[in-house]
Chains A and B, each alone.
Chain A
Amino acid sequence: MDKNKQLYIRTAIILAILTVLEIGISYLTISRMGQIVLLMTFAITKMMLVAWIYMHVQHETKTLKWIIFIPIPAGILFTISLMYDIPFRWVV
């Protein structure tokens, strides 16, 4: 079996295991915030694996990598701008 195929199979297995763990976490009786942080960490790890290995981002040039990843902080800024007032709702 060639090296690429081995890497792709290993990635698929890791993605499947992470999915099973995510489902397990969703049934855990831990704090809500802890659950959200864990689930989002797993989801972002899975997304990075798909982009890095299956979409071959690892082989792209620095410029293209920047173009691909710049929208991520833009999305975070978008989230903050929409929900910046939420922490204050429980204070008032």
Chain B
Amino acid sequence: MNQQNTISIPTNDPFGKATNGKLGMWLLIIVDGLSFAGLLIAGAALRASSDSWPIAGELLNIPLTAFNTFLLICTSFTMVMALSSIQRGDEKGLKTYLLYTLLGGILFLGIQAWEYYHLIHGGFTISSSMYASTFYVTTCFHGLHVFSGVIYISCILWQAMQGKYSADNWDHVEILGLFWHFVDLVWILVFTIIYLI
């Protein structure tokens, strides 16, 4: 008797077409998001239990940081355009938009370093007050994420220059995009809570 054996390949239905790498990045984002939540909530709890808390606008350079926020929004746009380009098979577009995102990230870090330099020279150091500690720990933690993102973009850009990505192979660009947008998304909350409220 000729028995036909069929092998059933397990499908990843609950997650659609999401690759393991993409799911892994989402898990990292969730865990990282909770780390940021921990820092922001700890800051809020300290603030609520403190008798006096400085007004951010009197100590920090709000217009400069607002520009940095705008810059990060622009890099989110260039990142999503990089993915959109390679999905259409436009390798040149991918490289150009990744380069813009990389430069935006570097500029963001440069502005943050400049801000720290002036604050520290003005006597506002991490040990100055509870407010200063909250400010430096939260913004520095975010800055490290931007720095990691810049390195990550450089690696993907390098691979893009070697011609690794195409209309059929753009998973890594999508995963990088998720990380970079998360960095932008978290900054929106950090900017509001640390600088504006």
Instruction: Report which A residues bind B (CB closer than 8 A).
Output: 2, 4-5, 8-9, 11-12, 15-16, 19-20, 22-23, 25-27, 35-36, 39-40, 42-43, 46-47, 50-51, 53-55, 60-61, 63-64, 67-68, 71, 74-75, 78-79, 82-83, 86, 89
Contacts and interface: CB of A to CB of B under 8 A. Distances in A.
A23 B197 CA distance: 10
A19 B16 contact: no
Contacts, number: 117
B167 interface: no
Contact of A82 (B16, B41, B197): B41
Nearest to B84: A4
Bin the interface of chain B by size: 35 or more
Contact of A36 (B77, B189, B197): B197
B48 A83 contact: yes
B166 to A, nearest CB: 18
Interface of B, secondary structure class, is helix
Contacts of A54: 76-77, 79-80, 177, 181, 184
Interface of B: 13-16, 18, 23, 26, 29-30, 33-34, 37-38, 41-42, 44-45, 48-49, 57, 62-63, 66, 69-70, 73-74, 76-77, 79-81, 84, 177-178, 181-182, 184-185, 188-189, 191-193, 196-197
